[in-house]
Structure 1
Amino acid sequence: MDPVPAADGRVDRERLDELLALQTEFDGLDFKQERSLAKGTKARLEFVKDCAAMLSRPHGGYLVIGVDGVGAPSGALIETADYDASRLHDMLTKHLEGQVSVSSGVHTVDGSTVVLVCLRRRGDGLFPVVKADFVANDGGTPTTVLRGGDVYVREGTKTRKWRSADLVGLIAPHVAMVRQEERARLADLMDVLRREYQGLALASGPVAALTWQVGQEQFDTAVTEAIRRNDTSALRLLVLGLQRDGLGLLTQDAAAAGEDLLQLLDRATAVAAIAVTLSTQQLVDDVVTMLARLYHRLYVNGEALTNTAAERGLAIAARILAVIALAVRLDQWWVIRKLALRPAGDTIVYVSWLRHAQVQAARRHVVLTNTATEPVGGGLVAAARQLISMLPALRPDLPGDLVDDLPLGTPPAPGDPVIDSVCQADLLWCVAAALDTPQERTRYEFYPSFAWLYEHRIAPMVNRLRTDENLTKDVYPGRAVDEVRHALDEVLQLAAREGGRLGHFR
């Protein structure tokens, strides 16, 4: 059994002493009295061979330069600069295809210079191949030392070209890695299937089994299956359970409710999102009505009772905006007014609870903050963007790699389709609120959170509202096109004043 430790990148004195104590060479350990690395020399190319052979081993290997065959320092003069790790890497990658992982350390042992070189197997499990023919010119007659396509292996304490019998051993690490990846992929698939079947079991079991306290994936599957089966009884009881438990949690303070209230709101949001995706309008009505009842429970006489109430109101508003953003991406235009135009307030009634939530939060100086507790501009949009990354039901139309979890306040990518849809959803509900604001009102019944972002986020929707009359009628049924365009201009004018970036939309 080879006692040489697996090459792990260590080239410190402790590792060197460990190797020298073996006092003999092994497959993974090669002692060299000296080795010139001067360019164009045969010795340099022979060194590349030795490195290639170590790189082909399943666990890599070590070269020790400046010792004799039993590991005793030879006192050889060594140009230590040649063994700098970056130089070695450049030299090896010039001659060998693929990745090269090399590290080196220079030490003094009994007054002599000794170099330890560690060569690790490639990350993809494959082995190095010589790139092309390389010729040495130090012996008078040019000699081809390396030939393109050659592969080198260790046989005992020697380096040689590979033979067909070596192939199984050479590819074994790559095969093992592929098998491990496949096992992990299969385990992930089985885990998904297990959760899916748990969701199916919830949907097909007693109606009381469909509850918001189960895991998010099982919950989403169960709701989807219940809609597919048209199991209105189970869905109705689920919504009533969400309302009952939600009202109960609202009576508790923030510490007592803990994460339970947010989880309940997430489950309600998932139901609304799945219903929008499947165009189940009655279920959307039921869930949003339930959320509105929770929302109204927060307020008395148009004033937020506490900062906690204002924070919870914003949490509900952000979830409504996230569902509207899904509707925008799916062209489910009937959702906009249904979700946005829920009156809120007592002494002062706003046409949209989204605006009411913003006003109540502002009065209590409640703002969304980033990890450094700094206020986040366009907070409602930012919160909705983050929710979409967290709840799969809000993004059934998007690949996972397009929905990175962005901490609040982190600038999104220029082509982020999620933030674009949230900004356009924000624009559409603002226009809806402007259209429904009574003429005698002098205050704004909307606030364009999208104004904190760049205009290219909303530009496509602005253009569609101005040029596509069919879309305008779908989003705002019963409204004249001129009315909608006037309301759009009103929203953009306020956005220009708030964000300073939309002036040419006035």
Structure 2
Amino acid sequence: MIVVDGRVDREKLVELMRQGEQTELEFKSTLDLKDRQKPDRLNFVKDVVALSNLPRGGYLLIGVKDDGTPVGMGDVNRDDWDGACLQDIVRPYIEGQIRIVSQIHELDQGAVVLLYIAPHGDGFPVPFSKQGEYTPKGDKRQKKVFDVGQLLVREGAQNVPLRHAHWPTLLKRHDEMIRRQATEHLDSFLFELTAVLRSSRENKEEALMPLSIGLSDSAFEDAVNSHLERGRDQDVSLFVRTVSNGAEEDADSILDKLTMVAVLALYREKREVACRAIDALFDVYEQAGECAGECNAKILLEIVNRLYVIGSAAVRLKAWSILSCLVIKFPRNNLKPAKPVVWIRDGQVRAIRAGLLSSEKQGAYMLPAARRLMVEHAPMRPDVPESLLPDNHADLKDDDVLLNSLAQFDILHCLIVAAETGDPKAAYPASSALKGCRAAPALQCVAVDGAVRQELFAGAEDSVVAQAMKEVYELAFRESKEFPEDGFGNWNRVPPPEVDAFIRENVRWGGGRVGEDFQAP
């Protein structure tokens, strides 16, 4: 299960190479686009068009074997792999245009090309407008790769002809556009109605826009903020309690709105309201967790993704005391009743068992999935305006505020769980798949600020926190070595100086510095 977010940076490459081929992801060990007497060029066109017909598009990695092992392509001409040049190869075979974002990454094995194929802007799938055929060397007969009018879609790791069952998926983006337009008209009406009520009031309480999951993001944010600003916290809490009871009807919208309430409440320092929204998410989690199956496991995973959204906001807003409320919750119906696990880990394991994730290491999926949610839903990041987001989401820098706060929440959640349970493996450090510099500030903050430790660990002794920090860091270090090419993605063998000093000062053990029991990567 991958997150299609348009990024083509180095960390995205590592994330994708952890996956197997699937609907949104295609691997090719080699690709020759120059020889018109070989099928490579037309097969490339077919792959690109099929990926672009998906609601979010997809990825194509070149220089990578089917199992995700990089083999490289040797020397490559960067001009040949420019996105505009690749678009020119596809354009003669379709009406309209497909956007391709390209990035070449140099690994020890050679160059790997990462392509993002964007979906069509109108939300409709596109058939071929020209027949794709070539003449093999030494053969006068032409061979056909695709037909005029043929509409291909991705299904698993293959391109297949359109079937009736594909239409709901293919039209998902178009349907979302229609719903958004309809919602905007409703929002406009509600704003006008509210303005009329405000202007006609006679020394009565000001009318507020009602809270509803049917509101657009901007209208819902305005409604929640209006209630909180006027001290109508009880109305927001009532909405949270009521809406969680109907989660099966429109799960994504309800989960989004509960997440927005939690984050907006944190932003306005309404901790009690935030906790109630988190409790409502837990109620939904419990309801979905009572039944097995892929559908329920998907809801659990979607909830976990939104917990990361809330946790990252708490990190950015320094709302440390909320993290324990967010992290330490044990579902009644978890997989090992004799050994309770927190809901973040429980959701990840259930997703693996349902086949949504192939392994625990794909827990790193949660970070880019949560980041995409925040990019798409502004009320999930009220402290991060559009101006602070990268203009081109295809390449994230080391100072990306959303991904960094997600990595910091991830490592803090591991520390909290380890300190609470005494088991450093009770939570998986998904941030180990990213650069260590993204999560490091959270560790440094815990190490140097005693007040933060008190809020995060409910008065636990420093020796307990330091032991948890040592073990969690060592686990993250080991996991980060899964992709050691060029040293990319690896955490440093020894933690930052402040962290190392805090551990050595508070942990009584017969060893040297953290990491000395490991071999150098």
- Distance change >3 Å, CA 473–CA 199, structure 1 → 2: farther
The CA deviation at 1:351 is 4.3
Conservation of the 8 A alpha-carbon contact between 2:367 and 2:430: yes
Matched, 1:305 2:289: no
The CA deviation at 1:467 is 2.2
- Distance change >3 Å, CA 266–CA 465, structure 1 → 2: same
Conservation of the 8 A alpha-carbon contact between 1:211 and 1:241: no
Matched, 1:420 2:404: yes
Deviations for 1:379-423, whole angstroms, at most 9, x for unmatched residues?
11111111111221222222313325988xx66322211101000
Conservation of the 8 A alpha-carbon contact between 2:363 and 2:428: no
- Distance change >3 Å, CA 404–CA 319, structure 1 → 2: farther
Conservation of the 8 A alpha-carbon contact between 2:213 and 2:257: yes
> Counterparts of 1:202-221 in structure 2 under 5 Å?
209-221=210-222
Equivalent position of 2:302 in the other structure: 315
- Distance change >3 Å, CA 377–CA 288, structure 1 → 2: closer
Equivalent position of 1:465 in the other structure: 446
Residues matched between the structures, number: 292
Pairwise CA RMSD of aligned residues?
A: 3.1
The code of the aligned residue for 1:399 comes to: P
CA distance in 1, matches of 2:270, 2:466: 30
TM-score by length of 1: 0.53
CA distance in 1, matches of 2:192, 2:313: 26
CA distance in 2, matches of 1:200, 1:411: 42
- Distance change >3 Å, CA 293–CA 316, structure 1 → 2: same
The CA deviation at 1:482 is 1.9
Q: Identical aligned pairs, as a percentage?
A: 24
The CA deviation at 1:490 is 1.4
Conservation of the 8 A alpha-carbon contact between 2:404 and 2:439: yes
CA distance in 2, matches of 1:466, 1:263: 39
> Counterparts of 1:101-180 in structure 2 under 5 Å?
none
Equivalent position of 1:282 in the other structure: 272
Equivalent position of 1:272 in the other structure: 262
Equivalent position of 1:367 in the other structure: 357
TM-score by length of 2: 0.51
CA distance in 2, matches of 1:376, 1:412: 20
- Distance change >3 Å, CA 453–CA 237, structure 1 → 2: same
The code of the aligned residue for 1:362 comes to: I
The CA deviation at 1:198 is 5.8
Equivalent position of 1:393 in the other structure: 379
- Distance change >3 Å, CA 368–CA 329, structure 1 → 2: farther
Equivalent position of 1:227 in the other structure: 228
CA distance in 2, matches of 1:335, 1:196: 33
Matched, 1:431 2:415: yes
CA distance in 2, matches of 1:446, 1:199: 48
- Aligned with 1:427: secondary structure? helix
Equivalent position of 2:389 in the other structure: 403
CA distance in 1, matches of 2:469, 2:440: 12
The code of the aligned residue for 1:217 comes to: S
- Aligned with 2:494: secondary structure? helix
Conservation of the 8 A alpha-carbon contact between 1:324 and 1:336: yes
The CA deviation at 1:496 is 1.4
> Counterparts of 1:34-49 in structure 2 under 5 Å?
none
The code of the aligned residue for 2:238 comes to: L
The CA deviation at 1:292 is 0.5
The CA deviation at 1:209 is 3.2
Equivalent position of 1:245 in the other structure: 246
Matched, 1:327 2:318: no
The code of the aligned residue for 1:354 comes to: I
The CA deviation at 1:455 is 0.4
Conservation of the 8 A alpha-carbon contact between 1:351 and 1:433: no
Matched, 1:454 2:435: yes
Conservation of the 8 A alpha-carbon contact between 1:334 and 1:475: yes
The code of the aligned residue for 2:387 comes to: D
Conservation of the 8 A alpha-carbon contact between 2:289 and 2:300: no
CA distance in 1, matches of 2:306, 2:192: 26
CA distance in 2, matches of 1:344, 1:447: 17
From 336, 340, 358, give the equivalent of 2:348: 358
- Distance change >3 Å, CA 406–CA 265, structure 1 → 2: farther
Higher RCO (C-alpha under 8 Å, 6+ residues apart): 2
- Distance change >3 Å, CA 469–CA 208, structure 1 → 2: closer
CA distance in 2, matches of 1:336, 1:495: 20
Further displaced range: 448-457 or 486-495: 486-495
Equivalent position of 1:254 in the other structure: none
Conservation of the 8 A alpha-carbon contact between 1:361 and 1:367: yes
- Aligned with 2:256: secondary structure? helix
Conservation of the 8 A alpha-carbon contact between 2:408 and 2:439: yes
From 350, 354, 364, give the equivalent of 1:378: 364
The CA deviation at 1:196 is 9.5
CA distance in 1, matches of 2:391, 2:296: 26
Conservation of the 8 A alpha-carbon contact between 1:327 and 1:335: yes
Greater gyration radius: 1
The code of the aligned residue for 2:369 comes to: A
The CA deviation at 1:358 is 0.9
Matched, 1:444 2:434: no
Equivalent position of 2:283 in the other structure: 293
Equivalent position of 1:496 in the other structure: 477
Matched, 1:336 2:317: no
The code of the aligned residue for 1:221 comes to: D
The code of the aligned residue for 1:383 comes to: A
> Counterparts of 1:5-154 in structure 2 under 5 Å?
none
The code of the aligned residue for 1:449 comes to: A
CA distance in 2, matches of 1:221, 1:331: 23
Deviations for 1:296-317, whole angstroms, at most 9, x for unmatched residues?
11223xxx61112111111101
CA distance in 2, matches of 1:294, 1:451: 29
The code of the aligned residue for 1:222 comes to: A
Further displaced range: 306-315 or 340-349: 340-349
Structure 2 runs not aligned, ≥5 long: 1-183, 199-204, 482-489, 496-514, 516-521
